[in-house]
Amino acid sequence: MEKMARVTTALGSNTISGCTMFCHLDAPANAISVCRDAAQVVVAGRNIFKIYALEEEQFVEKLNLRVGRKPSLNFSCADVMWHQMDENLLATAATNGAVVTWNLGKPSRNKQDQLFTEHKRTVNKVCFHPTEVHMLLSGSQDGYMKCFDLRKKESVSTFSGQSESVRDVQFSIRDYFTFAASFENGNVQLWDIRRPDRYERMFTAHNGPVFCCDWHPEDRGWLATGGRDKMVKVWDITTNRAKEIHCVQTIASVARVKWRPERKYHLATCSMMVDHNIYVWDVRRPFIPFATFEEHKDVTTGIVWRHLHDPGFLLSGSKDSTLYQHKFKDASRPVDKANPEGLCFGLFGDLAFAAKESLISGGGDSNRKPYGSGGDRRYPIFFFKKPDLTEQFAHESSALSVFETDLESSRMDWFVKTARRYLLSGKPFGELCDHNAKVAKELNRPQVSTTWTMLRVMYSDPGNLATATSISKGGSIPLMNSFNMKEIAAGGLGSESRLDRGKGEIWQDTIHLDPGNSLINNNDENEETEGSEGPADYLFGDAELEDDNLYPMEHENPTAEEAEYSLPQEAFPLRHEIVDNPSVPEHLQDKVDSPHVSGNEAEAVCLTPIKSFSLISISQPLYESHLPASFFSPVVREMLQHYAEAGDVQMAVSVLIVLGDRIRKEEHWYTSYIDLLQRFELWNVSNEVIKLSTSSAINCLNQTSTTLHINCSNCKRPMSNKGWICDRCHQCASICAVCHHVVKGLFVWCQGCSHGGHLEHIMNWLKSSSHCPAGCGHLCEYT
Amino acid sequence: MSTKAITQDIGVRIPRPLEHGPSRFIPEKEILQVSKVNAKTQAIFEDAFAALGRLDNISLVMGFHPKYLESFLRTQHYLLQMDGPLSLHCRHYIGIMAAARHQCSYLVNLHVNDFLQVGGDSKWLNGLEDAPEKLQHLEELNKILAHRPWLVTKAHIEQLLKAEEHSWSLAELIHAVVLLTHYHSLASFTFGCGISPEIHCDGGHTFRPPSVSNYCTCDIANGNDTLDEIQGNHALTDALCEVEALMEKMKQLQECRDEEASQEEMATRFETEKTESMRVAAAEEEDSVPARDVSRHFEDTSYGYKDFSRRGEHVPTFRAQDYSWEDHGYSLVNRLYPDVGQLLDEKFQIAYNLTYNTMAMHRDVDTSMLRRAIWNYIHCMFGIKYDDYDYGEINQLLDRSFKAYIKTVVCSPEKTTKRMYDSFWRQFKHSEKVHVNLLLMEARMQAELLYALRAITHYMT
């Protein structure tokens, strides 16, 4: 729970009290400022300039400073500031470049006191000295800052920001002579008021304009800045170089930033565009606002803490023509609504998951083990951040579970081997299919192997199929069935890719069969990264966690696979309706429910060929012989679709290539297969695939990145156009170190000393010497 | 063997460019000179050629100002080729729509080619009716932005975003708006500098032998060069005085700044300038609407720039301090179409701050005042007011013929003629006139963008 505002001693006799309240203004506000005693607030805008008294439950209009029949542009305020020493003194920055002071003590209706029209452009900011009564500072679009002595008619000194527009100026609260200025080009300058000739220091704070800055009320070295780049940064300027010590990323450009009184790490921000809320951040927790005020309906233009020593009340003015007093107690706390959960994959497939402790521990406290103690890291572990008493954050403890992947099981050997050994062209169709079927079989992938055989059967010219005629007759129904069978096996195959698949998808894990005790663990895991549904989504079976592998990769192991081969025999008579069901998870679910699964023994008896033959007898009478190849196309396409969706693009693409014109192409399968091949550094195979694809978009991949950028050997700068003459030093860059002629053509060079030359010359040279021909003394190596 | 012989032998017709050089207003020699002298320009040209496989006339003319050109090409490349919410052919089609608003056949032809090249459906080119409904909806915004951007309201945005299955997403809309404004203003530049058609496009070449043809396809410009040349010499002495007078005025303004004008005075000056900008005759005759087939891309030809005061329309003044590019526009664009805000911001800044401190034959002149006057004059024509600017300056610095040129180029660019181009700032170099055109183009783009973005912001809040 929150510890709320301690009543501060500095407040003296009249403690601030009040509630969240608002009043309508007649026009949008540009800036607001409070009187020293926190009893009145001034609101200024293009068409408004009024003073309101802050009463217990409402704002009361005290004074309208916009007087005269035809209000001049001097009333059109970009900024306003109430003097913190003299409660009769106000200053405004006008959009036409005037700086105006107002004396509330004047008897007349027009309270305008002094008018300075020295700035050529809009004045963005005015600032009174915190302790000096007569000193006023202004910053303008024209790039100048001017310091005025209110007893004189003109500015006393002018500070030049080198033609960059000034967005904010702020006197340091602790250092009498220092002020900070922020600029449109992203710089922040620190000046000494006595030295108008040159800034004391300058640093680049933001990318793009710095809209605001604010000195920390207590710590003299801290300056907060906010910029168009949506960041709030806190700088420590006591060190030699300004050091960024905190950074808060907001969702919109930051228009104002104000430190919260009496809370060292808190600051309030509002944004210039799009986002209407006011946020109070704890800079040590930059990811989620500490508190939010969501009352305004248009962008907030001015924020100010009501009293210098009271953190409980914030005032704000907005473009929606309202003035608000926010009571801190009424703020909404985003932390309370947030679900502290996180999920991440490691480089080698490890999965870490952190969630609220209360959710994850459940009843299985016995599962807890300290992190890192010995081998098994699959259990949820718990650790705590040491509570910091100064923080007002609700403490969350979360449990982190790390699930390790067995490296062996996730190996992609089969992929590499398959890619290497498949034949995609260069032989008659039938032979290619046979060859690939053989490869698949040798790699223990009978489903794939069967598919190849089937394809051969379906698409080969029936005349050539002396032996397999009978098979071709019955092609249709067995194929349908084989889909179901494949799906089961593909659960194992596809899982790698599903692991990579995007978040928000629900996958249900496949079974893990252990032939020894035939125990089936059903492990459901819902991944819902949005977290919006609340904690109930995360269900971890307690007991199962013990000996279950969350990783479907495990299915690669031979025992599990053997158990799966046996499925077809029992499965096919029942399974015809599922063909229409495209989604993988459903099949998997079916399979889990299926009673057949558990009973299977690891027998290799029912390998696919047998299955095919057994089917022939059923289907033979139903079909005429010699079905046209196009008859199978929809079925084959569906099969390819299935493979691709299960993640085995290799199969899909290989089949596509081998089938050639027999079927329509899917371009994106190609791209993903090529991508995979390149990741496994199978350059030759990937090149072959690119070459064999009929799509022009794929084919042209071979022609990309054929450029090699080189630097000139003389001046070491990039060569722009021609390969042998450098534009900059006008010398021939690629000179053969042996014959001293320009090399136009094959140029070979040593990567160590970058000398080189004609291929032949270098080869000859290296026969006799191992040193560089250029005489640089390098022992050249050419590979 | 001569070319002619080859032609006859093989029967290949060799096209011949119709125009001499990339611009009708600027001598070819002078443009080509630039890239020879300036290594940076040369390098940019090479990059542009490598990226697009062509070097269009616009880039050649902009080559006078390599710093700007670089930023311009980078932005344009990003808008057309890089990641973005709209598909490639849509982008080109929107470009065509925008350019067609100003009957800018140069840009239309260029993008028709590109459109087909990226796989656009040639049927769309028959006219907007054949394009998807979604794009048809955009035409209304296109029309208003091109001619009367101050009329854009929240309602227009809402119409686009809430059209059920044909609705636009916010990101797409921002992309489209940036493209529209980019091409509207580019059309201004094209006409303002008299860019000649590309040789591979319609109207850029002819197969007639040179001797016979005296035929000119300058379908838009009705310039008559010969006459001007005669007048040119005559006016030389006059022109010299002009520059001197302008310099003198700038000096005066700089010195006696503090001659205080009253507040009301200042306010009325803007109004006067705004109303007066309407009275500056934009073009002599209105009947020069060319009968090109680009008109098929837009329906309502009669809808053009209307002078708002003259027609009795009252338009509330747009206060630049309330919605500025730097503070508001940038954030909105960058939020919905990342990086583009940055690119545009750089481009605006380069255009606004570009100076070589020269004026005609004078060196080391601070031209910021003149540039600001031009920029603010354009914004003033669109009703955008800067509180901190004395609009009296405009009157002092920009003479009548120059104002007429600005107004024509910005508001109805298709009516620009060579005579107008020649008659303002007679003593100034061509590169300086191109510089003026860059200012016009960027100021116009920003003005249109501000109106469009403000409407989008209103929609969002």
Q: What is the ipTM of this complex?
A: 0.73
User: How long a stretch of residues is chain A?
Assistant: 783
Q: Flag if B461 and A72 touch (Cβ within 8 Å).
A: no
Q: Name the pairing type of β-strands A300-307 and A291-293.
A: unpaired
Domain with A689 in it: 419-460+630-704
pLDDT digits (tens, 9 = 90+) for B349-375: 999 988 888 887 788 888 888 899 999
Neighbours of B161 (CB within 10 A): 17
Same domain, A318 and A453: no
Q: Which of B263, B326, B342 sits opposite A209 (nearest CB)?
A: B326
Look at residue A688 and tell me if it is in a domain. Answer: yes
Among residues of chain B, what percentage have pLDDT more than 70? 74
Of A73, A228, A720, the CB nearest to B387: A73
Q: Same structural domain for residues A290 and A435?
A: no
CATH of residue A63's domain is: 2.130.10.10
Strand-pair partners of A259:
A267
Distance from CA of A513 to the nearest CA of B (A): 47
Pick the last residue of a domain from A681, A704, A727: A704
In this predicted structure, the answer to whether residue B27 has a pLDDT above a threshold of 50 is: yes
Instruction: Kindly state the average pLDDT of the residues B275-281.
Output: 61
Within 8 A of B266 by CB-CB distance, chain A residues are: 73, 96
Q: Which fold has domain B27-197?
A: AhpD-like (1.20.1290)
Give me the number of domains chain A comprises. 3
B contacts of A718 (beta carbons < 8 Å): none
Best of A162, A273, A298, A301 to disrupt the B interface (most B CBs within 10 Å) is A273
Structure token pair of residue A680: 């496994």
Q: Tell me, yes or no, whether A171 and A89 share the same domain.
A: yes
Q: Taking residues B335-344, what's their average pLDDT? A: 88
Q: What is the dihedral of CA B392, B397, B400, B405, to 10 degrees?
A: -110
DSSP, collapsed to helix, strand or coil, labels residue B154 as: helix
Write the single-letter amino acid at B130. Answer: D
pLDDT of B344 > 80? The answer is: yes
Residue A374 is predicted with a pLDDT of 40
Query: Choosing from B104, B193, B380, B411, which is the catalytic residue?
Result: B104
Tell me: do A82 and A219 sit in the same domain.
Answer: yes
B258/A117 touch (CB, cutoff 8 Å), yes or no: yes
Res B304: pLDDT:
56
The H-assigned helical ranges of A12-114 are: none
d(Cα B400, Cα A131) in Å, to the nearest integer?
A: 55
Quick one: A424 and A290 in the same domain?
A: no
Residue A712 lies in a domain: no
Model confidence at B180: pLDDT above 90: yes
Candidates B263, B331, B457; nearest CB to A228: B331
Closest B-chain CA to A165: B326
Which residue of chain B has the CA closest to A207?
Answer: B342
Q: Are B132 and B167 in contact (CB under 8 A)?
A: no
Q: Cα Rg for chain A, rounded, in angstroms?
A: 38
Token pair for B377 = 């004059």
Q: How many interchain CB pairs under 8 A, A with B?
A: 74
Which residues of chain A are under the pLDDT cut of 50? Answer: 1-13, 363-378, 387, 389, 464-624
Is B201 tagged catalytic?
Answer: no
Q: What pLDDT does B184 receive?
A: 92
Residues A276 and A192 in one domain: yes
Answer yes or no: do A241 and A357 share one domain. Answer: no
Q: Are residues A324 and A343 part of one domain?
A: no
Same domain, A232 and A271: yes
Domain segments of chain B as ranges: 27-197, 231-460
Would residue A586 count as lying in a domain? no
Tell me, yes or no, whether A33 lies in a domain.
Answer: yes
Name the DSSP class of A647. Answer: T
- The per-residue pLDDT for A537 is 40
Which amino acid does the sequence have at B184? H
Smallest CA–CA distance from B368 into chain A, residue: A163
Q: Are strands A322-327 and A21-24 parallel, antiparallel or unpaired?
A: antiparallel
Facing residue for A97 by CB, picked from B326, B332, B388: B388
CA distance A141 to chain B (A): 9
> Which residues of B fall within a CB distance of 8 Å from A73?
263, 266-267, 387
Distance, in Å, from the CA atom of A65 to the CA atom of A86, rounded to the nearest integer, reads: 18
**A52 and A93, same domain (yes or no):** yes
Say which residues have a Cβ less than 8 Å from residue B266's Cβ, sequence separation at least 6: A73, A96, B390, B391
Q: How far apart are CA A239 and CA A224, in angstroms?
A: 15
Taking CA atoms, what residue in B is nearest to A728?
A: B39
